[in-house]
Structure 1
Amino acid sequence: MGPTRFAQWMRDCKQVLLTDTTMRDAHQSLFATRMRSHDMLAIAPHYARMLPGLFSMECWGGATFDVAMRFLKEDPWDRLARLREAVPNIPFQMLLRASNAVGYTNYPDNVVRYFVQQAAQNGIDIFRVFDSLNWVENMRVAMDAVIESGGLCEAAICYTGDLHDPKRSKYDLKYYVNLAKELEKAGAHVLGIKDMAGVCKPRAAKELVTVLKQEVGLPIHFHTHDTSGIAAASVLAAIEAGCDAVDGALDAMSGMTSQPNLGSIAAALTGSERDPGLDLDAMQSLSHYWEGVRRQYSPFEADMRAGTSDVYNHEMPGGQYTNLREQARAIGLEHRWPEVSRAYADVNQLFGDIVKVTPTSKVVGDMALFMVANDLTPADVRNPAREIDFPESVVQLFRGELGYPADGFPKDLEARILRGAQPVEGRVGATLAEVDLDAARTKAETAIGRQVTDTDLASYLMYPKVFTDFAHHRKQFGDVARIPTPAFFYGLSDLDEISVDIDKGKTLVIRQTGRSDTVDEEGKIKVFFELNGQPRAVRVAKAGLQGTGTARPLAKDGDPKQVGAPMPGMIATVSIKPGQKVKKGDALLSLEAMKMETLLTAPEDGTIAAIHVKPGETVQAKELLVELS
């Protein structure tokens, strides 16, 4: 069935169609979407047999792509292929950030087209395409690529604000209807409503779906998060208004920053006109499996015990809430989380009340953390007399590298952040030169020392460094995705034993038999194992022996000749040399902290007297980095 006929079938179907997000978006309740393929593949065949009536399974794309390589050391394409083999009868759905693809910046058009082509060829059926500022012009290349690849293009409107708040008339019904009509003209097969923060209240959901059903001829798919604790009411209101498909997560993985409970939604509709017709016992059985799996990820859970109405104030996307709390913890601001939450809302207003979803939500989060770490108020940010080194992501946003909101950015703040530089005119993708794919392939092969596949190239084009690091890890350690999750995250204690399926019919039994107490000159000890009864020994670094270096002095408050670290992080680049003359505003170095990069500039004219750091070194807040004379 082609995409057009599939969309027609959706419109004609009286039952509401359900999408299970447990294998992708429900991971938002687990920090950084760290669900391993080992746990997915064990249950995947049972989905195929027990829930064949699902509209789709959202199981790929978005943050899961880079996280698979970055943290889990897994190939996201291999994950997709193995899931596709295990579940041949349910459509697979992915999240595609339009011109950002599955990254955090705009890519050249041919890179986006190449990535979509590979995703379609390797098992993705439905592409939920969205733009982080609801800029349809920025979505067209990705939408065209999906349509040309034969995939079903679900173009999504990102919901923000409040339909019934008279103080925020920017996001009214007319705004959403105009967007929907633009997407319909652009060739969308399905219209998605992406309520990434879970702020679409039941009354708004019902009214929005009702009007969109009247104004456009596309089937409508509603997606929300349960951060508020009442998202299921919004889902049911959307269904009552005629919504064609909705998202949810199985019981054990639902709630809070994840999706509302899919099993409960199905049960609530049993016997009604919109009964999805799914086996409730089967859903419960699958949920029991996820309940056990979730326990293995408890260290990554957010410190959140219930839904919170505060989401209507800060409007953080469900996928960012847990991540931002972890970022705050990493830079020593965990105890100031209420301030971070308030700062997030303040930054949104400073930026002109924008749509907040990856990657724009990351920029708002970067700025919120920056403000709290440096004790800045909104008045300080606006004050032209206050010298501020804005995070690089904020500069990129106001430069137009992520696109533009419909009414632009506040001009006074734009001038302050860009410091005389001109923003990009029009769509960024149109200004980027096409990548020579053959040259990129050669460069990737040189970097990892082997031939790369077409999907390897797609990974490299998205994340060159992350893919290169992953490839080196795979070369050294093999496919660690096959290791059971407890062993992967926590290792083996003495006399622990695990079984690893290294191939069909081939199982490796690994038993740790002990360790030495002697620490060698490199700070390592020997750990002893048996592999199918054969003794082995490996040398590993003993914890607690690193990081004994002398602490750096702190920069003196109020001394413009001393540049200190605004927050803990790692030195990414150093752009200066001792003796070099600099002018106020010249770049000195950049600091990375949990994906946030901050460019530090010269506070005044002078000469570089001393540089106390090198790229790759970690620093603590307020440590002295550079001295001027």
Structure 2
Amino acid sequence: MANVQITETVLRDAHQSLIATRMTTEEMLPVIELLDQVGYFSLEAWGGATFDSCLRFLNEDPWERLRKIRKAAKKTKLQMLLRGQNILGYKHYSDDVVRDFVKKSIDNGIDIIRIFDALNDVRNLECAMDATVKAGGHAQATVVYTISPIHNTEHYIKTAKTLEGMGASSICLKDMAGLLTPYDAYNLIRELKKAVKIPIQLHSHYTSGLASMTYLKAIEAGVDIVDCAISPMAMGTSQPPTEPLVATLKGTKYDTKYDMDLLSQIADYFRPLREKYISSGQLNPKVLTVDVNTLKYQVPGGMLSNLVSQLKQQNKLDKYEEVLKEVPRVRKDLGYPPLVTPTSQIVGTQAVLNVIMGERYKMVTKEVKAYVRGEYGRPPAEISPEFRKQIIGNEEPITCRPADLLKPELDKYRNEIKEYMEQEEDVLSYALFPQVATNFFKYRQAQKYKIDSTLLDEKDMVHPV
């Protein structure tokens, strides 16, 4: 057994999970050289919600962030999270946009692209995986973990073997809700290790309080890499803390060989930042607690906070428990999709509507209709014909890969933003978030040419939060 390796998530998932992805590039750069010395398998530094957040809230160019991190991290591989055909947005994009995004990500410094699809529909990973391999990157294909009558060991092994056959460089088992229990992890990793020859990485969240124990059993079963966050930005809805795991494995055959003094220096850097986030209200102490509802309702921590927010807006917070009970019912109706972006939002919003309206599916969101039509891909389990008819009437659902129905879009986007374009990557920023990117481009122009910001329309301004 080779030494276990760790992917450090503090630059991406840790702050996405704890402070809604509000850490700035300026806050990251002073510690990159220390992180680079540890010997991590990789630094997860980009993708997920960081792209949207940079443009929408921080007045930052996400591509520039990536280039700056790459310049500072001279030895360690940089990793990003990509939502398959959704890229970093919330809908399917055409293949030419996916391919160009993957190539530009690698050109700007990404080494490893972790690619997932919310439904484990491998057809939605094909294009991004192929583009990653062709651009010389490491395609880490993802098996999304959840619990349902059809999500069993056999399902996960079949998915992993298919992904290996599609050219994956490694497999990530992605437990976004912290549902994987220690002994289940041991059994599942052991079977996966027998079934595939490529490395296996485990990603979990601490929401349910299980993840550190789960990692230990997964390591004993032969997992190659685990995702951790440096302690001041760990636990709660984030990942398990790095240092305790390194200490636990020290002197064993799984020893990471990481320097605890160096990790301590990195923790010292993030500790005052954590206090700053708590003082500003960005880091709510509630997200640092163990939430047993995660195990009870199989709902990820981020989704729980969304449900609370939606109910507050409707003055219906008293319906919270009712909504939590409705989530598994909606999920069953939709063929047991794993609850991860965007399906967590689709299921959660519909559950809220069902409860508030006092009648199930009296009002149906356009996203639920699109899902039932097959626009997001193939549901894990068959949707009943009766339910389908209730949602979309006599419409025939699509059965092909959804992106096969999309025409190339890149040239159209390039033409639409030519007046603002300063780099080729701007086309991709605009393709993913048209309004948000346009606002950012206007802000960037104003800064560059020192235009008085009062000359910009209020709607053109991007307000940092």
Contact 2:335 2:380 in 1 (8 A): no
> Matches of residues 402-551 of structure 1 in structure 2 within 5 Å?
402-435=376-409, 437-445=410-418, 449-477=419-447
5+ residue gaps, structure 1, are 1-12, 162-167, 382-387, 481-536, 541-629
The higher radius of gyration belongs to 1
Contact 1:221 1:243 in 2 (8 A): yes
Q: State, as a whole percentage, how many aligned pairs show the same letter.
A: 36
Contact 1:360 1:402 in 2 (8 A): no
SS at match of 2:355: helix
Whole-angstrom distance in 1 between the partners of 2:54 and 2:177: 23
**Structure 1 residue 179: Cα displacement:** 0.7
- Richer in helix (by share): 2
Q: How many residues align?
A: 451
Distance 1:325 1:83, change over 3 A: farther
Amino acid at match of 1:36: T
> Matches of residues 45-444 of structure 1 in structure 2 within 5 Å?
45-49=33-37, 51=38, 53-161=39-147, 168-298=148-278, 299-302=281-284, 303-376=286-359, 380-381=360-361, 388-435=362-409, 437-444=410-417
5+ residue gaps, structure 2, are 456-465
SS at match of 1:69: helix
Whole-angstrom distance in 2 between the partners of 1:357 and 1:300: 22
**Structure 1 residue 323: Cα displacement:** 4.2
Whole-angstrom distance in 2 between the partners of 1:538 and 1:439: 29
Amino acid at match of 1:472: K
- Richer in strand (by share): 1
Whole-angstrom distance in 1 between the partners of 2:134 and 2:233: 35
**Structure 1 residue 419: Cα displacement:** 2.8
> Matches of residues 585-600 of structure 1 in structure 2 within 5 Å?
none
- The answer to which of 23-32 and 73-82 deviates more is 23-32
Contact 1:74 1:479 in 2 (8 A): no
**Structure 1 residue 305: Cα displacement:** 5.0
**Structure 1 residue 345: Cα displacement:** 2.6
Whole-angstrom distance in 1 between the partners of 2:220 and 2:32: 31
SS at match of 1:300: coil
Contact 1:158 1:355 in 2 (8 A): yes
SS at match of 1:293: helix
Measured against aligned partners, the alpha-carbon deviations of 1:217-239 in whole angstroms (never above 9, x if no partner) come to 11100000111112100001110
Whole-angstrom distance in 2 between the partners of 1:39 and 1:333: 38
Which residue of 1 is the match for residue 7 of structure 2?
19
Q: CA RMSD in A?
A: 2.2
**Structure 1 residue 76: Cα displacement:** 0.7
SS at match of 1:349: helix
**Structure 1 residue 241: Cα displacement:** 0.4
Contact 1:441 1:452 in 2 (8 A): no
Whole-angstrom distance in 2 between the partners of 1:470 and 1:324: 29
Contact 1:197 1:227 in 2 (8 A): yes
Distance 1:453 1:332, change over 3 A: farther
Contact 2:420 2:441 in 1 (8 A): no
Contact 2:294 2:301 in 1 (8 A): no
**Structure 1 residue 365: Cα displacement:** 1.7
Q: Give TM-score, length-normalised by structure 1.
A: 0.68
Contact 1:126 1:152 in 2 (8 A): yes
Measured against aligned partners, the alpha-carbon deviations of 1:153-182 in whole angstroms (never above 9, x if no partner) come to 110100100xxxxxx441111111111110
Contact 1:226 1:307 in 2 (8 A): yes
Whole-angstrom distance in 2 between the partners of 1:133 and 1:462: 21
Distance 1:300 1:314, change over 3 A: farther
Amino acid at match of 1:417: I
Measured against aligned partners, the alpha-carbon deviations of 1:238-279 in whole angstroms (never above 9, x if no partner) come to 100010000011111111111111111111101100000101
Q: Give TM-score, length-normalised by structure 2.
A: 0.92
> Matches of residues 34-53 of structure 1 in structure 2 within 5 Å?
34-49=22-37, 51=38, 53=39
Amino acid at match of 2:369: V
